[in-house]
Structure 1
Amino acid sequence: MNAYRMKPLKYPWLPLLYGGACVLALFLEFYISPSAIPALQGMMPVLAGCLIATAAVALDLWAVNTMMTSQTPVRLDRCAQRLVTEGPFRYTRNPIYLSYTLLMIGGGLILQNSWMLMAAPITALVTTLIAIRNEEMHLLVRFGVDFERYCRQTRRWI
């Protein structure tokens, strides 16, 4: 199969990565509760978590809607049909992964789970190493100079 027709990932498993990290954080909180972080106690972290989680869901819906409107698949095991640079993709090259990470942070604040807060940046790093680099190579092969220009103008995360 030629590089132009290659898919970014063989399986669309990244939601499972984030979900697994959340489940692991809940498990660790239940069995290995770290010393309480005073800043996570009270209503302010819960309210902040609700705002962050709401923003994360809105960002995810906006990104998915933008991709569907552009008639390019959201799933990672499908080839990109178009280079999407509008909507939330004007501000970040990975708004869906950003929304997953923000949702983990919001959930960590809502549940006052410090493990989830620690897992969010680690999961984002693993996502960058395993998925984003493959996706970017796929987009570079498919869209060439247009993708390079887009990368120079738009940050990977925020």
Structure 2
Amino acid sequence: MLGAALIVAGLPILLDSFARFALQGPGTPTPVMPPKRLVATGLYRYVRNPMYIAGTAMIAGQGLLFGSVTVLAYGAIVWAGFFLFVVAYEEPALGEQLGDEFKRYRANVRRWFPRITPWRG
């Protein structure tokens, strides 16, 4: 049940995140064509990386649903890759691209653990 819940919860979060990048950024969540503006609406008001959290939750959900330790291990590797990418590349690049706006956002919205109330920066 938990596995199915993680998959069902993760998919709309991923779709919402992609839509926000395309419509409000405008851009994509990839380094090739990053958004031109800070996207700090929707779930991004609560946590800086809902897309990575949702993707990892969906992989973990599949591992639980199918009882696969291999898929769960894969999810842990993907999570580690997301973490390293965010810390080593994404945040420094966004800091350079978006300047003080991103610094304020980063100071008020946590990377992985959601706020209780939405940031209204």
Within-5 A mapping of 1:9-158:
47-74=1-28, 75-129=30-84, 131-133=85-87, 134-158=89-113
Q: SS in structure 2 opposite 1:79?
A: coil
Q: SS in structure 2 opposite 1:155?
A: coil
Contact 1:91 1:154 in 2 (8 A): yes
How many residues were matched structurally?
Answer: 111
Q: Root-mean-square deviation (CA), in Å? A: 1.4
Q: Give TM-score scaled by structure 1 length.
A: 0.65
Contact 2:10 2:54 in 1 (8 A): yes
Contact 1:92 1:154 in 2 (8 A): yes
- CA-CA distance at 1:54 after TM superposition: 0.7
Runs of 4 or more above 3 Å deviation: none
Q: SS in structure 1 opposite 2:5?
A: helix
Structure 1, unaligned runs of 5 or more: 1-46
- CA-CA distance at 1:49 after TM superposition: 0.9
What whole-Å deviation, never above 9, does each CA across 1:37-80 have from its counterpart, x for those lacking one? xxxxxxxxxx2111110101011011112222204212321133
**Structure with larger RCO (C-alpha < 8 A, sep 6+):** 1
**Structure 2: how far apart are the matches of 1:79 and 1:54?**
27
Contact 2:25 2:38 in 1 (8 A): no
Q: Which residue of 2 aligns with 1:39?
A: none
- CA-CA distance at 1:154 after TM superposition: 1.0
Q: Give TM-score scaled by structure 2 length.
A: 0.83
- CA-CA distance at 1:125 after TM superposition: 1.5
- Structure possessing the higher radius of gyration over alpha carbons: 1
